[in-house]
Structure 1
Amino acid sequence: MSVGPAWEVREGESAASWFTVRLAFADGARIDVLAVVCEGCVFFEDVRARPALSPDDLTVLADWIEEPLLQACGLGAEPGAEGGTAPAARARPAWPRGDEGRRQVARAYLAAQEEGADPVLAVMSATGYGRRKSLVLIAQARDAGLLPPRHARR
């Protein structure tokens, strides 16, 4: 795996850094990623892979490159450091569990629907979780009766 800086944008005290990441495998497969590190969070701008990646592979890809990216920009733990990972490695807003968390998911989902925006992306943004975990939270809110059923029953 190789990680290299591409560019950085600073505004006041905050900065967003773009990095190029290349994973090359012995069988000839290759993955190229343009990633952004901003406020301790990692976001993918572009992913190109040969052969193509499945959705499950994309989920694993985030785990593979997150720590090397954070180390490249000085946010990750040093190799061999106690604990193995910096707090910034999983920087997410604190999200309440249980009923309060489900209510907040429902509020974010319904507000996005009213605005005509993608409700799943709104929940992802609000929670800081990926698509899969956000869908689980949405399903839990539905099961609790806070959201309407996904499909109209006949």
Structure 2
Amino acid sequence: MSVWSAWEVQEDGGATSWFDVRLAFTDGARVDVLAVMSEGCVSVEDVRAQPALSLDDLAVLADWIEGPLAEACGGGPEPAPEAAGSRRARPVWPHGVEGRWLAAQEYRTAQEEGVDPVLAVMCATGHSRRMSLRLIAQARDAGFLAPRHARR
């Protein structure tokens, strides 16, 4: 695995840094990642893999690059104590009725604040846009949100 700094932007006393990460495997497979570190948080901006990664591999990608990326950043952020044993890349979101109800709350709060409600649900759940839209539809079906279109 190799990590190198791509570029850095200084702003308001802080810095946002982009890193190129390459994982090369003995069988010829390769994964190239563009990772961003800002305010102690690491985000993955772009992933290119040959051959394509499975969903399980994609879910643990952050764990694969965490150590070398922290070394390249001069130590990197320390994990939160409650998350030290966790290997989840996204926040824990409850399933079933409770998850639908919480998604509806996020949706309504975003609407009241005048921001994109789907994006708010995406940020809260850690799910993709498609999965968030599915969760919102389930919340509508459960009666937690008004129907999208009036029935005739």
**What range is the shorter-chain TM-score in?**
0.5 to 0.7
CA distance in 1, matches of 2:3, 2:14: 22
Residue 128 of structure 2 is matched in structure 1 by: 131
Residue 8 of structure 1 is matched in structure 2 by: 8
* TM-score normalised according to structure 1 size: 0.61
| TM-aligned CA deviation for residue 34 of structure 1 | 1.0
1:44–1:83 Cα change, 3 Å: closer
CA distance in 2, matches of 1:40, 1:141: 34
| TM-aligned CA deviation for residue 141 of structure 1 | 4.6
**Residue 16 of structure 2 contacts residue 37 of structure 2 at CA under 8 Å; is this kept in 1?**
yes
CA distance in 1, matches of 2:42, 2:22: 16
Residue 68 of structure 2 is matched in structure 1 by: 68
1:29–1:5 Cα change, 3 Å: same
* TM-score normalised according to structure 2 size: 0.62
**Residue 103 of structure 2 contacts residue 121 of structure 2 at CA under 8 Å; is this kept in 1?**
no
Amino acid at match of 1:107: R
CA distance in 2, matches of 1:137, 1:71: 38
Q: Count residues in correspondence.
A: 142
| TM-aligned CA deviation for residue 56 of structure 1 | 3.6
Residue 42 of structure 2 is matched in structure 1 by: 42
| TM-aligned CA deviation for residue 31 of structure 1 | 0.2
| TM-aligned CA deviation for residue 104 of structure 1 | 3.6
CA distance in 2, matches of 1:138, 1:38: 30
> Percent same amino acid at aligned positions?
56
CA RMSD in angstroms comes to 4.5
1:149–1:58 Cα change, 3 Å: farther
**Residue 106 of structure 2 contacts residue 117 of structure 2 at CA under 8 Å; is this kept in 1?**
no
List gaps (5 residues or longer) in structure 2. none
1:79-134, CA deviations, whole angstroms, 9 ceiling, x for partnerless residues?
A: xxx9995xxxx898xx9xx688445422256569x87x581x33233x273439x7
CA distance in 2, matches of 1:69, 1:102: 33
